[in-house]
Amino acid sequence: MNLGYILLIPLIPLVVFLLLGIFNQRIKPAISGYIGVFGLLVSTILSCYAAYQYFFVHGKVNGVYQTFVEKTVWMNFSDTLHIDMGIFIDPISVMMLVVVSTVSLMVHIYSRGYMKGDDGYTKFFAFLSLFSFSMYGLVLATNLFQIYIFWELVGVSSYLLIGYYYTKESAVAAAKKAFIVTRFADLGFLIGILIMGYYTGTYDFETLNDPEGNAILNWASTSFMGLSVLTWGLILIFIGGAGKSAMFPLHIWLPDAMEGPTPVSALIHAATMVVAGVFLVARLFPMYYFIEDGFALNIVAFVGAFSALFAAIIAITQTDIKRVLAFSTMSQLGYMMLALGVSGYDGHEGLGYMASMFHLFTHAMFKALLFLGAGSVIHAVHSNYLKDMGGLRKYMPITNITFLIAALAISGVPPFAGFFSKDEILVAVYEHNKLLYFVGVFVAGLTAFYMFRIYFGIFWGKETKYEHKPHESPISMTFPLLFLALMSILGGFIPFSDFVTADKAGFEAHLNYPLAAVAVVVGLIGIVLAWVFYKKESDLADRLANFFGPLYQWTSDKFYFDAIYLFITKKILFKRVAAPIAWFDRNIVDGTMNLIGNSTVKTSEKIKGMQSGKVQDYAFAFMAGVVILAIVFVYLWAE
Amino acid sequence: MIPGISIYELLTVTSILFFIGVYGFITRKNLISILISVELILNASVINFVVINKYMYPDMLQGVLFSIFIIAVAAAETALAVSIIINLYRQINSVEVKDIETMKY
């Protein structure tokens, strides 16, 4: 398989980024928009071509999808330990290429309408291209260090784009929060990488993931605190992934990240960057599965299930539509983690893995659609809050229909995409752990409820008095909506189990009708409840909120997690740890240095009189020295 | 070669001359006196050249030639020094060392 053109996929956005970044002010906004879209269009075409070539022409040998690697040594440490740069082609990376390029292209097109007239139009497209480049690099990485480099790059682009409205204080704070929280998680990732490198002697995915390889067969050779060191390494790597994928308890940055422009939320905080954590676990899946009988994988499953439930509960009470979607994203990411966590490896056992990747794919489509739809609404009413919306279906028919499709898809109503992927996840969980299955079904119901709560709140319900009459968005914004709606309808019919599986061999997946029926019924109950509560204006919801009282307040304040983090950082870390250390630094460390400096100054002040500037004095000192040396050499050194 | 006088006596004389020069260089406050002292030091070394040449290598001439060379250079150097002093005198009406300390430190 020829890999040369795949290299172009990440490089084109990089070139676009440099072009737009360097000639920022000198390019007319209209042109820079076209440059950005065109670059991504080429990347998308190449990605689709690569996917076609891989999945249908060259990829399969003897019924198993092969891995193609093209790399060069970048840094050489020893014969076995070196850091490479290259591209890694296997089913999940090709699938991610398609997801990233499709969503990114749609967001680029959408941004041409959404960001119209913004001062930093060119800058915005430059950052989007930088992000696309980094994300492509991440999915194509051949080893842990390369993925780490691009991992940080997507973090930086996310930071830049969240803080895009840098004159707004809350946006700046949110950008910093996102960067610091994920950076903190990445510390775990880095330590995990170093542990892997130290104990297995390689960073290479191919070598690490080989089920017959050294790393997997000899996991028990070194242990630390009752677990294999490699398990510790995998847990630490998962912490990095949890930070990026906003898993509990590192989720606090994601809702705040909604301060960024809505296309950014759609691209980065819904469809692509936040699934990097899921992708990372999937990338190292054989290690997670085989080492210590999947101990680390169980942690992944429980963290995922808890995050899914936790976020879904919070999402019910939020009033900012983008925040509802953010918590929904977190909840769906929890689903993906859960599915990975309960997956096996061979054949049909690997259903969870396939379901997770399938859900990643469909979720990217319908969640990007939800965000873009929300962006279209925000564009029309200039507010993020549910109270400023209502009855918009008359004014924005296309947004209404596409949003409804996405909401049905995420609620798992057949035949939309979410139904298929969610069903596979629930089947996989059911086969593994009944408790987690009930959590999953409950979350599915909650998902349908909160999603239709905002759907009815936006498009139905009481009509708010609008200052300007809301109008449908321009074609550049509705085209991506329609395209993604199409994907949300058709995406579920892709036979994913033929293409993306843990052992790469593929298997026959069937719908499990009883379980599917349960999930659909629960989803429909959620929708009906939302319909009862929010379709018509009624005080039912308020009465219920009052009934739950403090519980409602807790959820609406996100279980006070932000407050807890603030308490820990400000009251404990800053006051008890950082302040004494700062005192020590300022007084002891700096004090020592100042003492040395001051005493030097004082001494030189005292002895500067010796530099009289008179040659005679110097001559005297010289002569005295000569005489003393003469005496020493002639009389004292004689014997 | 002066009969009856050994090399030690001559070298003693030049050493005395040298140290008189050094003493003068260090203690005098007048630029002209300092210049004279420097000349004394120079002459002490010139005499040393000649004496050592004559007493130790009587059939060679390098020392003598070198002393002539030094005298020539010393003349030029003295002329230069005197011209600097004259210029200085025109500027500040003094040839005392203490009056030209402004560039100290």
Question: Does A507 have pLDDT greater than 80?
Answer: no
| Angle, CA A186 vertex, CA A183 and CA A192 arms, to 5° | 160
Which of B 36-95 lie inside 8 A of A, CB atoms? none
Rounded alpha-carbon distances, angstroms, from residue A98 to A49, A272, A465, B18: 9, 11, 42, 95
3-state secondary structure of A86: strand
Q: Which of A613, A620, A623 sits opposite B103 (nearest CB)?
A: A613
Mean pLDDT in residue range A75-96 = 83
CA dist., res. A172 & res. A509, Å (int): 46
- A415 upstream amide cis, omega within 30 of 0: yes
Question: Does A441 have pLDDT greater than 80?
Answer: yes
Question: Do residues A164 and A171 make contact, with C-beta atoms less than 8 angstroms apart?
Answer: yes
Mean pLDDT of chain A: 84
What's the confidence (pLDDT) of residue A639?
62
This prediction's pTM: 0.77
A549 Cβ under 8 Å from any chain B Cβ? no
Residue B105 in domain: no
CA dist., res. A589 & res. A600, Å (int): 17
Question: Does A433 have pLDDT greater than 60?
Answer: yes
Q: Which of A413-427, A459-473, A540-554 has the lowest mean pLDDT?
A: A540-554
List % helix, strand, coil for chain A (3-state, nearest 5).
Answer: 75, 5, 20
Q: Which of A12-26, A396-410, A505-519 has the lowest mean pLDDT?
A: A505-519
Neighbours of A395 (CB within 10 A): 18
More confident call, B33 vs A352: B33
Kindly state the DSSP code that residue A531 receives in the 8-state scheme.
I
Q: In chain B, pLDDT over 90 holds for what percent of residues?
A: 60
All residues at 6 or more sequence positions from A105 whose CB lies less than 8 Å from its CB, including other chains:
A37, A40, A41, A43, A44
CA dist., res. A245 & res. A181, Å (int): 11
What's the confidence (pLDDT) of residue A589?
92
What's the confidence (pLDDT) of residue B11?
92
Pinpoint the alpha helices (H) of A267-350. 276-283, 285-290, 295-317, 321-341
CA dist., res. A199 & res. A503, Å (int): 25
Residue whose pair of structure tokens reads 């009052």 in the numeric block: A546
Q: Is the dihedral of CA A410, A413, A418, A421 positive or negative?
A: positive
Residue B51 in domain: yes
Q: Do the Cβ atoms of B26 and A620 come within 8 Å?
A: yes
Mean pLDDT in residue range A93-103 = 89
A604 neighbourhood in chain B, CB within 8 Å: none
B102 Cβ under 8 Å from any chain A Cβ? no
pLDDT in tens, A200-222: 878 888 888 887 777 777 777 77
Helix axes A351-381, A91-114, angle to 10 degrees: 0
CA dist., res. A234 & res. A295, Å (int): 10
**What's the number of domains chain B is made of?**
1
Rounded alpha-carbon distances, angstroms, from residue A156 to A176, A179, A267, A323: 10, 7, 15, 22
B105 Cβ under 8 Å from any chain A Cβ? yes
A49 Cβ under 8 Å from any chain B Cβ? no
Q: Which among B15, B25, B26 is the top mutation candidate for probing chain A, defined by the most A β-carbons within 10 Å of its own β-carbon?
A: B26
Residue B19 in domain: yes
CA dist., res. A340 & res. A350, Å (int): 9
pLDDT in tens, A150-187: 999 999 998 988 888 888 888 888 888 888 888 888 99
What's the confidence (pLDDT) of residue A445?
87
All residues at 6 or more sequence positions from A40 whose CB lies less than 8 Å from its CB, including other chains:
A12, A13, A16, A101, A104, A105, A108, A129, A132
Confidence of residue B76 (pLDDT cuts 50, 70, 90): very high
Q: How far off is chain A from B46, nearest CA to CA, in Å? A: 20
Residue B104 in domain: no
What's the confidence (pLDDT) of residue A81?
73
Residue B40 in domain: yes
pLDDT in tens, A599-616: 999 999 888 877 777 778
User: From A615, which residue of chain B is nearest by alpha-carbon distance?
Assistant: B26
pLDDT in tens, A567-578: 887 787 788 888
Neighbours of A345 (CB within 10 A): 17
Q: Phi then psi for A471, rounded to 5 degrees?
A: -135, 160
Question: Does B104 have pLDDT greater than 60?
Answer: no
Residue B1 in domain: no
CA dist., res. A41 & res. A48, Å (int): 11
B25 neighbourhood in chain A, CB within 8 Å: 616, 619
CATH number at residue B22: 1.10.287.3510
Question: Do residues A269 and A251 make contact, with C-beta atoms less than 8 angstroms apart?
Answer: no
Residue B28 in domain: yes
Q: How far off is chain B from A639, nearest CA to CA, in Å? A: 24
CA dist., res. A523 & res. A449, Å (int): 8
Structure tokens at A610: 């010796």
Confidence of residue B79 (pLDDT cuts 50, 70, 90): very high
Report the range out of A75-84, A221-230, A308-317, B29-38 with the highest average pLDDT.
Answer: B29-38
B101 neighbourhood in chain A, CB within 8 Å: 613-614
Question: Does A355 have pLDDT greater than 80?
Answer: yes
Q: How far off is chain B from A631, nearest CA to CA, in Å? A: 16
Domain that holds residue B70: 7-99
Neighbours of A597 (CB within 10 A): 10
A612 neighbourhood in chain B, CB within 8 Å: 104
Nearest Cα to Cα of residue A197 among A347, A75, A329? A75
A619 Cβ under 8 Å from any chain B Cβ? yes
CA dist., res. A137 & res. A131, Å (int): 10
Report the range out of A255-264, A345-354, A503-512, B29-38 with the highest average pLDDT.
Answer: B29-38
B33 Cβ under 8 Å from any chain A Cβ? no
All residues at 6 or more sequence positions from A378 whose CB lies less than 8 Å from its CB, including other chains:
A262, A321, A322, A384
> One-letter amino acid identity for A109?
I
Q: Do the Cβ atoms of A623 and B34 come within 8 Å?
A: no
Q: Which of B26, B27, B104 sits opposite A612 (nearest CB)?
A: B104
Q: Do the Cβ atoms of B103 and A614 come within 8 Å?
A: no
Residue whose pair of structure tokens reads 């005496």 in the numeric block: A631
What's the confidence (pLDDT) of residue A248?
81
Rounded alpha-carbon distances, angstroms, from residue A481 to A16, A35, A248: 25, 21, 31
Nearest Cα to Cα of residue A244 among A318, A324, A158? A158
CA dist., res. A422 & res. A411, Å (int): 9
B26 neighbourhood in chain A, CB within 8 Å: 616, 619-620, 623
Structure tokens at A464: 């708010």
pLDDT in tens, A111-125: 888 888 778 888 888
Q: In chain B, pLDDT over 70 holds for what percent of residues?
A: 96
A465 Cβ under 8 Å from any chain B Cβ? no
Structure tokens at A275: 């699934």
What's the confidence (pLDDT) of residue B49?
93
DSSP-assigned letters across all residues of A337-357: HHHHHT--SSGGGGHHHHHHH
Q: Phi then psi for A503, rounded to 5 degrees?
A: -90, 5
Residue B77 in domain: yes
Nearest Cα to Cα of residue A317 among A156, A558, A527, A616? A558
